[in-house]
Amino acid sequence: MVKASLLELVSSRRVIITVGSGGVGKTTTAAAVALAAARAGRRVLCLTIDPAKRLATSLGLGTMSHEAQLIDPAVIGLPPGSKGSLTAMMLDVRRTFDELVERYAENREARDRILNNTIYQQIAGSLAGTPEYMAMEKLYSLKDDARYDLIVLDTPPTSNAIDFLEAPDRMVAAMDSPTIQAFVQAFEKGGSLSLKLLSKAMAQVLSGLSKFTGAGFLESVASFLTDIQGLFGGFRERAAKVREELKAPSVAFVIVSSPDPMAVTEAMFFGEKLVEGGMRVEALVFNRVRKTEIVDVSSPARIANVLAEAGVEPHNELAAGVLKAYQDASIWARRDANEIARARREMSSVPRVVEVPAFDEDVYDVAALTRVAEIVAG
Ligand SMILES: Nc1ncnc2c1ncn2[C@@H]1O[C@H](COP(=O)(O)OP(=O)(O)OP(=O)(O)O)[C@@H](O)[C@H]1O
Ligand SMILES: [Mg+2]
């Protein structure tokens, strides 16, 4: 039986991760799920990535701090004495990476050399797969925190949803490729580097960093790469553990999709990959759905209603325009309904499906977020 609510999910799981392609509403859904769980009496930590500033402000998070911040229960409508609470934390990719370096550097000197290296400082936040990996890393370090019953993890805007799962490998591979190895060896052999020693491929790898040319640049890269070699073992092992943890029954993935055909196709593909990887897709959230019942102009009574709502007299010259707009909207709504029906058929093994309507405005305040939370949790 497919349930039309995530209430039982938000009430029982330890970790909930929202995933999906770019811009579909992952962050909004993560925040709504976290809010719904807090209202259901759970102590929730919501780990988000780049939430809209206005939404954060509306939740009373004046500064976009990367520390955990408890949200005032009154702001989110928790009754006095409620067991539930909502704490928000924003992912700081760079700082999380620094913490990993601190943990896995061979010694203090190596740690300081890496952290102070210009190249490290430039690439720590932008290397392929880094934000995705750091999101999982942060989750891993928080998952046993006894202050929270539930951790809701938002995932970064990836161009391709599947990037998320492969992120740790991609990140390690980016630094551990034969090209880079050769680079390091060339450095170690010569003690210093000349451009002549660099193969074409290596030059290409470095071309992304070409803005930092000049004396000492290559030495700086090489020294960084040599130091960071020592981290790989730790990173790999840790990435493997994180991945294992994601398969636990207490971890639920929520796929978010818009009703757009491309997004739906990607959501289905991503769902398959998660299941293949041994993870649990516990819910499907269709967001920004255009609803037929809202734009229905199929009967004279509905037409009269719609015009009255718009404040337009039936024989006014604007009436035709209003009706045309509604007819167009109802075509879109029917397309959305068809896409959702297709996705529901193809992903019939997902036990919960909810549809969040497209609101006239962005979800920028507590009131709008509460509406989404109520829809998500039934
Ligand atoms: N149901 C909705 N109705 C109207 N606006 C919405 C709805 N859901 C989300 N939005 C708005 O759409 C925008 C994108 O949403 P959100 O940031 O949650 O997406 P995302 O998947 O996290 O994006 P990214 O991939 O960039 O991280 C936001 O401005 C949000 O307020
Ligand atoms: Mg987001």
Q: Are 80 and 33 in contact (CB under 8 A)?
A: no
Q: Is the pLDDT of residue 159 over 60?
A: no
Distance of CA 181 to the CA centre of its chain: 32
Pocket test for ligand 1, best of 19, 24, 27 (most atoms within 8 A of CB): 27
Locate tokens 């951790």: which residue?
151
With a pLDDT cut of 90, the percent of the chain lying above it is 41
Identify each DSSP E strand in the chain by its residue range. Answer: 15-19, 43-48, 69-70, 85-90, 150-154, 251-257, 281-289, 353-357
Residues 6 or more apart whose Cβ sits within 8 Å of residue 3:
351, 352, 353
Q: Rounded distance, CA 190 to CA 67, Å?
A: 44
> Which residues constitute the domain of residue 58?
7-376
- Cβ 143 under 6 angstroms from ligand 1: no
Q: What pLDDT is recorded for position 217?
A: 64
Supply the pLDDT for residue 100.
84
Compute the distance from residue 19 Cα to the ligand 2 centre, in Å.
9
Are the C-beta atoms of residues 287 and 356 closer than 8 Å to each other?
yes
Higher pLDDT, 343 or 208: 343
Task: Classify residue 180: in a domain, yes or no.
Answer: yes
Identify whether 1 is part of a domain.
no
pLDDT of amino acid 175: 62
pLDDT at residue 44, rounded to an integer: 97
Residue 132 lies in a domain: yes
User: Cβ(352) to ligand 1 under 6 A?
Assistant: no
pLDDT at 157: 74
- What's residue 158's pLDDT? 67
pLDDT of residue 167: 65
Query: Measured from the CB, is residue 52 less than 6 Å from ligand 1?
Result: yes
What spacing in Å lies between the alpha carbon of 255 and ligand 2's midpoint?
Answer: 13
Distance 51 CA to ligand 1 centre (A): 9
**pLDDT interval class at 190 (50, 70, 90):** low
Residue 147: the pLDDT is 97
Confidence of residue 137 (pLDDT cuts 50, 70, 90): confident
* Residue 157, ligand 1, Cβ within 6 A: yes
58 lines ligand 1 (CB under 6 A): no
Answer whether residue 83 shows pLDDT above 70: yes
Cα 225 from Cα 32, distance rounded (Å): 41
| Least confidently predicted of 70-84, 97-111, 288-302 | 288-302
Q: How many CB atoms lie within 10 A of CB 164?
A: 23
pLDDT of residue 84: 97
pLDDT for 26 equals 93
Nearest to 150 by CA among 257, 289, 8, 321: 8
301 assigned to some structural domain: yes
| Spatial CB neighbours of 328, under 8 Å, sequence gap ≥ 6 | none
- Would you say the CB of residue 26 lies under 6 angstroms from ligand 1? yes
Nearest alpha-carbon partner for 356 in 36, 13, 16, 60: 36
Residue 2 counted as domain residue: no
Q: What is the pLDDT of residues 27-68, one digit of tens each?
A: 999 999 999 999 999 999 999 887 778 888 888 887 666 789
CA distances from 52 to 25, 240, 245, 276 (A): 11, 32, 29, 33
Integer Cα distance of 253 and 234 in angstroms: 26
Interatomic CA distance for residues 331 and 337, integer angstroms: 10
Range with the lowest mean pLDDT among 106-115, 119-128, 335-344, 358-367?
A: 119-128
Lowest mean pLDDT, pick from 7-16, 102-111, 183-192: 183-192
The enclosing domain of 189 has a CATH number of 3.40.50.300
Which atom of ligand 1 lies at the shortest distance from residue 361's CA? Answer: 4
Q: How many CB atoms lie within 10 A of CB 42?
A: 20
Give the total number of structural domains in the chain: 1
Q: Is the pLDDT of residue 195 over 70?
A: no
> Ligand 1 within 6 A of 359 CB?
yes
Mutate to test the pocket of ligand 1, among 160, 163, 354, 363 (most ligand atoms within 8 A of CB): 363
- The number of C-alpha atoms within 13 Å of 38 and in the hemisphere containing its C-beta is 30
Helix (H) / strand (E) element for 254: namely: strand 251-257
- C-alpha gyration radius of the chain: 25
Q: Which ligand is nearest to the CA of 52?
A: 1
- Poorest-pLDDT segment among 44-53, 116-125, 247-256, 333-342: 116-125
Q: What average pLDDT does range 330-350 have in this prediction?
A: 93
Residue 355 has pLDDT above 70, yes or no: yes
pLDDT averaged over the chain?
Answer: 83
- Six-digit token pair at 143? 């998952």
- Residue minimizing CA distance to atom 18 of ligand 1: 25
Question: CA 236 to CA 51: how far, in whole Å?
Answer: 29
- Residue 77 scores a pLDDT above 90: yes
User: Tokens standing for 260?
Assistant: 């757009």
- Interval 264-279: pLDDT, tens: 999 999 899 899 989 9
Q: How far is the CA of 377 from the centre of ligand 1 (A)?
A: 18
What residue owns the CA closest to ligand 1's atom 9? 25
**From atom 23 of ligand 1, which residue's Cα is the shortest distance away?**
23
Please check whether residue 38 is in contact with residue 70, taking contact to mean a CB–CB distance below 8 angstroms. Answer: no
Residue 349: closest CA among 287, 289, 268, 250: 268
Q: In which band, very low, low, confident or very high, does the pLDDT at 304 lie, cut at 50, 70 and 90?
A: confident
Supply the pLDDT for residue 186. 61
Give a yes or no: residue 293 inside a domain.
Answer: yes
What whole-number distance in Å separates Cα of residue 19 and Cα of residue 325? Answer: 33
Which pTM value belongs to this model? 0.84
Which has more confidence, 286 or 103? 286
